[in-house]
Structure 1
Amino acid sequence: MKSIFSIFKRGLEKTTTKVARTIGSIFTGVKAHSAESFDELEELLIAADFGVPASLRIVGEIRDRYERGAIATNADLARIASETVKDILRQRARAIHTGEPGKPTVILMVGVNGSGKTTTIGKLAARFRADGRRVVLAACDTFRAAAVEQLQLWGERTDSQVVSAKHGADPASVAYDATQAALARNADYLLIDTAGRQHNQKGLMDELAKIRRSIEKVYPGAPHEVWLTVDASLGGNVLNQAREFSKTTGVTGLVLTKLDGTGKGGMVVALHQEFELPTFFIGLGEQPEDLQPFSPEYYADALFGEEAPREE
């Protein structure tokens, strides 16, 4: 069985190649690090979509430690960078908000087209079912037939009930019915899929608000989480998505997808630095086990080529 850290390491390989190995090339053979070396490191981190604030913080910490004589090798430099990233990521970490005792935890998934919402819901269902939890899936993307079919396949694969309706039905009505079904079946989780939408499509954004109201009519206090799925391959461009969705839909957390296919893995740090939003899961490959609970420690160590930490 693959270790969890090995999944992180493999999934972040492209970003690690872009960052960790290039760090070595900047400082290799240099007895004294110059201002130009640190400027080049800043540019590298920004190019890997760490964002300007996080890049300045990481390089500032490295420069400070170097001037105090705490950095003698490239391994020291990578270790300091990893520690700084962990500090940034830990500030937002928290447990998942859950439902009332004996009632389901309702998670509403939102995001732009192609960000991986439906696949992520399926993988979450597989994870929760493997833990012995009862799961209901709600197919509230009623405008894309393939989305309903895809969710139904995940329902069959994970032995989870899927609540759906005919093509073009009111998504809020489906959410209402699914919430009733989850309560009636004593489900542990209700995972709600929604249609992909751009953050500037006011009508579709208003639809999300209607879905939320329908859920709360049946189950006051729900949804307990609203997770924005973010395609990591888009790099820094996702900052605008997170900003606008947070304003209009009450986003409470992030799920980062497609990290394995990009060298822009630093954008996880940029998102954490700019928004007070935790990342709950990250997608590091195609298989269900490649959707992993987010670990600041595994992420930062894999990103900068550190050795595997001790696993339980």
Structure 2
Amino acid sequence: MDKIKEKIQNNSRETRQELRGRILTYCAIGLILIVVISIFLFVALKGIATFTQDKASLKTFFTGTNWNPGILGSDGKPLVGALPMIAGSFGVTILAAIIATPFAIGTALYMTEIAGKKGRNVLQSVIELLVGIPSVVYGFIGLTVVVPFVRDHFGGSGYGILAGSFILFVMILPTVTSMTVDALKAVPKHYKSASLALGATQWQTIYKVLLKAAIPGILTAIIFGMARAFGEALAVQMVIGNASLLPTSLLTPASTLTSVLTMGIGNTVMGTTANNALWSLALILLLMSLIFNILVRWIVKKGRM
């Protein structure tokens, strides 16, 4: 009888502990959801004020090239043409991803298929070191090394999308490489064994089997790298030239959404047209982050199918 009572008490105690654990878990999840939704609503309300409160034209915002929110145009609406910043952001992001992808894939293949244990450890240490370097250090190196290099070998002032892409290439390389390594390691080992058993060489196996099987993971790595590049501010701001002009080439000074935000947000008054316009740029950044995440989930889903 005593044993039965003790067993009931233990079960009751475990049930209470499980209940408390669930409550704490749900509270944490609820808090995270509230924070995320609050951030999104706050940025969205501030961002759309440019169009609802200041009566700016949505078409002008996405297609105009004149960025001067404090001045009204001939139509009585603020000059908030954000196309130069949008083009600059996509320009440096896409170019950095194009440059980083082959380096990342090559490094990941070397680490997973060719290098020995010592070589993998050395490369892993280098990748971790690149991740830990602050953005301002990348920007300073770009200012003193990359900008003069671009000026001497490609022409122009050295400031522009090309210089910004070189900096972002180094910054996103560790992210893309690490995720590509994980994607290659996730390929079932029997794929490789079957290919080698059929007489394929190591490089034929890598090219025709491993890379094809790891494509969803590699695409996910590239998109994550682009998301990192799209939101980078300080390093790009130091080398891109910060000119709110539509870039005509990779060598002309340009600007990005993040560079305009970081330079202008401290020089505006909350609630003014200039401030609301900056919040509209922030809303674009937030929406782009959401799009990048949706793309990642879609690629992962397709890969599983």
Q: Normalising to structure 2: TM-score of the pair?
A: 0.25
Q: Normalising to structure 1: TM-score of the pair?
A: 0.25
Q: Which has the higher contact order (CA 8 A, sep 6+)?
A: 1
**Greater fraction strand:** 1
Larger Rg: 2
